[in-house]
């Protein structure tokens, strides 16, 4: 599928979404965007000796997780336990990609 076909399908889904499903549809679009970003980052070459973001066995900083989830870094820290955050030292927490992906898939997007 080329990008024009993909865009047409997304446009049709957005345009035809019933009004009563808009809150849930917005959540699903955000989840889909996060999954696409994760897939895209797996394809990007490593930079500065670091692995691409969201390799399944990788761990990431709160800043990287916040960018991926489109939330504040403080939110990531507040949800450290449910995101599987591992405290390595004072001010150093890493989050496993597998837990982040699991969190994205388990969230109920009902409005």
64-110 confidence digits (pLDDT tens): 888 888 889 999 999 898 888 998 888 789 988 888 877 777 765 54
Mean predicted confidence (pLDDT) in 9-36: 85
Angle at 48 between CA 97 and CA 62, to 5 degrees: 35
pLDDT band at residue 10, thresholds of 50, 70 and 90?
confident
Question: Does position 44 have pLDDT exceeding 80, yes or no?
Answer: no
User: What's the whole-model pTM score?
Assistant: 0.47
* Domain residue spans of the chain: 3-106
Q: What is the pLDDT of residue 30?
A: 78
Percent of the chain with pLDDT strictly greater than 90: 11
**Can you list the alpha helix ranges (DSSP code H) found in 1-111?**
3-16, 22-43, 62-69, 73-78, 97-106
């Amino acid at each position: 599928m080329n990008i024009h076909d993909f865009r047409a399908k997304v446009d049709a889904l957005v345009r035809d979404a019933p009004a009563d499903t808009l809150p849930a549809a917005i959540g699903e679009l955000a989840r889909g965007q996060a999954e696409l970003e994760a897939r895209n980052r797996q394809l990007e070459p490593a930079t500065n000796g670091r692995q691409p973001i969201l390799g399944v066995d990788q761990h990431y900083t709160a800043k990287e997780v916040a960018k991926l989830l489109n939330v504040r870094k403080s939110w990531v820290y507040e949800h450290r336990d449910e995101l599987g955050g591992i405290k390595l030292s004072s001010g150093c927490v890493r989050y496993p990609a597998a837990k982040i992906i699991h969190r994205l898939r388990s969230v109920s997007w009902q409005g």
